Amino acid sequence: MSVPTIKHFFAAFALLSTLLARPVIAQTWTSCNPLNTTDCPTNPALSTNHTWDFTSSSADTTWNITAGEIKYSKISGAHFTIARRGDAPTIKSDFYIFGGELEVWMAAATGTGVVSSIVLQSEDLDEVDWEILGGNATHVQSNYFGKGNTTSYDRAIWHPSSFSPQDDFHNYTTCWTKDEIEWYIDGASVRLLKFAEANGGKNFPQTPMNVRLGVWAGGDEDNPKDTVDWAGGETDYGDGPFTMRIKSVRVKDYSEGKEYVYGDMTGSWESIEIVPGNSTALNILNAPPPLTPSQRWNKLSPNAKIGVGSAAGVTSVALIALAAFYCVRQRKAGRRERAIADLAWESESKELSAYQMQMAKGGFAVSSRPF
């Protein structure tokens, strides 16, 4: 694996500039396109089937936050929020799948021009999408791209929904093989794309893809007019914040191996090489959870437990001795204070007796002078 050069940087920058007019630019990009060079990094495989429950834990080290901040709720999972202009919180998987399934339980964000996106994307810009507009409560959109081909935008299909996608959670699933792609909403198939239907296969997504989830403002005033119109109009950030919520994500990789390698620059599925071995993601996901205190105690040897017990005993004795010393010192201080108080009381009593005797003898005359 070679280190990206300055040539790669300018290539990526030029590609990004050409993609600015695309509806899902906030989630789609590539840092090294295998169609242009053989020096791109390999794609780490998922090589398993796994569900991430965002109501019980945050995204683990198999995911990367590429923009913004993600917050988590035990009730509604991961929150992707646009609170101000420029926000576009997004996470991207560090793993790739080569054929597989993506299932997301999502409640889309509200807001005119706000786009909630579920994206599968490869480094050579093959792409499979769900896109839900915050101002559209009656339809959701499926879409796909092959090799970043944006010569036309006639591949998107708007699917009518019997629910408001922003009000509650719904299941959006994509099943992808080398022969076809199928989109499902709440378990019901809404679209099937055959290989040959995508420009004879030339625009059919067929290279290893990672997962990208995020929300962005397609209606931002700086976006091209076509993008703003597609997104439903200009976004008024004063109406926000706008939050996309995701409860869980399930990803299944139909291939098994350590990583995926582009064998040439054709971008065809036949050119992809599967490197055998355990993937990094699989090792992370199969790692045992951290031990509880009781489990750590049970794993200690008898001698170690005796050592821990002895240390605890010594510590307890020291604490008891310290407490006893403190109590004794306080008692001594109390006795001294009591003795001083007794002496003061005795002195005051004698003075009071003397005063009373003097008054009885008439030793004190009352003055006739005014103050």
Catalytic center residues:
127, 131
CA 167 → CA 136, 164, 230, 250, 310, distances in Å?
Answer: 12, 6, 21, 22, 59
Q: Give the residue from 30, 32, 43, 28 showing the smallest Cα distance to 4.
A: 32
**Cβ atoms of residues 78 and 53 within 8 Å:** no
Torsion of CA 289, 294, 299, 303, to 10 degrees: 150
Tokens in use for 193?
Answer: 């794309």
Tokens in use for 134?
Answer: 């915050």
- What is the amino acid identity at position 313? G
Phi-psi map region of 187: left, alpha, beta (phi>0 left; psi -120 to 50 alpha): left
DSSP 90-150: EEEESSBBSSEEEEEEEE---STTEEEEEEEEETT--EEEEEEETT-SSEEEEEEESTT--
How would you list the strands of the sheet with 259-262, edge to edge?
43-44, 259-262, 272-275
